[in-house]
Amino acid sequence: MTESRSRPTRADAVRLDQSDPLAGERKHFALPSGVIYLDGNSLGALPRSVPDAVGETLRQWGEDLISGWWDDGWWAAPERVGDRIGGLLGAAPGQTVVGDSTSVQLFNALTAAARLRDGRRTVLVDREGFPTDRYLAASVGRLLGLTVREVPMAGLAEEIRATGDDLAVVAASAVDYRSGELHDLAAFTEAAHDAGAVVLWDVCHAAGALPLAFDALGVDFAVGCGYKFLSGGPGAPAFLYVNARHHERFDQPLTGWHGHAEPFAATAGYRPAAGIAQARIGTPPILSLLALEAALDVFDHVDLAAVRAKSLSLTDFFIACADARLSGLGFEVVTPREHRRRGSQVTLRHPDAEAIMTALAGRGVLGDVRPPNLLRFGFNGLYVSHVDAFDAVAAIEEVS
C-alpha cells in the first residue's frame, strides 16, 4: 500500500519496489519491453526456464523416441508434477494429478463427488462461477438425474443449511473470476461437511497466487488450471486434487487406460489403480506438461505467503491510485477492499470498458474485459511491480 495518506505518486511506487523482497523474481520471466502485463490471471507470463525445458523434451523425443516414456520420466510426470502443485495447495503427496483440460477434470471431479453421496439428489453451484463450471454441472445433473441449483455465494451458506440431507455436492470458485473476490474456503467447506455433503473448489484463480491449506481444511476435491498464476503456458494441463480419504471410493466417469491398475495388461475390464493414479485418464500432453513442470521451478525458492503479501500490496496501491486519479471519470472499484476477501486482481466497472481497454492495449497496458462493463487487472507478485500499477492507472486516466 502507498506509504502515505496523500495522493500516491510514482516516487511512492519506486520506494515500494525498492523494499520489495520479490523484486528479483521478475528476472525469471520473459516480459516484452514496454509492456505492462496485468493479464496474468488469464495467461501467465513466460518463465525463462520453459523454452530450454521444452527444447530438452523435443531432444528426448527425437533421440530417445518411445523410450522417453521410461528413460526420461514421461510416464511418471502426471503424478510427479501433481505433487509439486499439491505442495502449493497445502496437500500431502499422492493426492494431486496433472493432465487433461480444466473442463475434463471438473467433469470427472463433479461426477465422482456426486457418486460419493448416492441417494442425495441436489447439487449447489456458484451462480457467479465461470460459465464452464455451471455448464458442466448442468450436464452432470442430467446424466445422473440430479437437481442442480445455481445460488449466489452470498446466500450459499443459508442454502446449504436449507437443503440439508438431500445435499450431495457444493461446487464453487475460490475466487470470483470477474470481481476478484476471494471466498472463505474454510467456512463453506465446514458448512458443506456439516450438511453431510462433499465440496469441490475451482481454484484456477487462486493456485500459485496465495497459500492454500486443502488437507488442513478437509477439502474433498479441487480443480485448477496450469496457465494462470502457475504460468505453465497456453493450454497447460489442469490438475485434480482428491483428498486421500476418498481414494477407496473414488469413481470417475472417464476411465482411460492410464488410470488402470495394470495399464499395459490390456485386460477386458477396468480396474482402477491405487491412490491418485486412478484419476489419470489417457495419454497426457507431454510437451505442455513438462513446460508446466519447468514453470513451477520458480516456486522452489519463494514463499507463497510472500507472494500473497506482494499481491495485496500491489492491489492496495492500484486501488489507492484509482481512488485518487480516476475519481469523477465514471469508474467504480468492484473488487473487495478487505484483504481477506480479495484475490490477486482488481476489477473496475466503467460503461466504456471495451473502448478503454482497447486504448490501453495501444499504450502497452494489457488487461482484459468481462462484458458488459468490467475491466480486469491481474497482479502476479512474481513479475508485476508497483511502478507497473502506478503507470497503468496513469494510462487509464489519460485514455478516459
| Binding annotation for pyridoxal 5'-phosphate | 102-103, 130-133, 202, 205, 227, 257, 283
Is residue 228 part of the annotated active site? The answer reads yes
Is residue 202 part of the annotated active site? The answer reads yes
Which residue in 12, 20, 83, 202 is the catalytic one? 202
Which residue in 29, 37, 130, 241 is the catalytic one? 130
DSSP 386: H
CA distance 360 to 348: 14
Question: Residues annotated as binding site?
Answer: 102-103, 130-133, 202, 205, 227, 257, 283
Which residue in 228, 280, 325, 342 is the catalytic one? 228
Which residue in 29, 227, 239, 241 is the catalytic one? 227
N-terminal to C-terminal alpha carbon distance within the chain: 24
Taking only Cα atoms into account, the Rg of the chain, rounded to an integer number of angstroms, comes to: 22
Is residue 130 part of the annotated active site? The answer reads yes
Which DSSP helix (H) or strand (E) runs through 224?
strand 221-224
Q: Which residues have CB under 8 Å from 221's CB, separation 6+? A: 109, 112, 113, 198, 199, 200, 201, 240, 241, 242, 243, 246
CB atoms within 10 A of CB 349: 15
Are 235 and 227 in contact by the 8 Å Cβ rule? The answer is yes
Q: Which residue in 146, 203, 186, 185 sits closest to 169, CA to CA?
A: 146
Is residue 177 part of the annotated active site? The answer reads no
Q: How many helices (H) and strands (E) does the chain have?
A: 13, 15
Q: Which residues of 277-308 are buried (b: 16+ CB within 10 A; e: fewer)?
A: bbbbbeebebebbbbbbbbbebbeebebebbb
Parallel, antiparallel, or unpaired for β 221-224 and 198-202?
Answer: parallel
Q: Which residue in 294, 258, 293 sits closest to 276, CA to CA?
A: 258
Q: Which amino acid is at 159?
A: E
Is residue 280 part of the annotated active site? The answer reads no
Which residue in 317, 368, 376, 391 is the catalytic one? 376
Which whole-number Å values give the CA distances from 93 to 87, 243, 276, in the listed order?
8, 10, 10
Residue whose C-alpha cell is 456426486: 114
Which whole-number Å values give the CA distances from 227 to 102, 296, 304, in the listed order?
10, 11, 17
Residues noted as catalytic? 130, 202, 227-228, 376
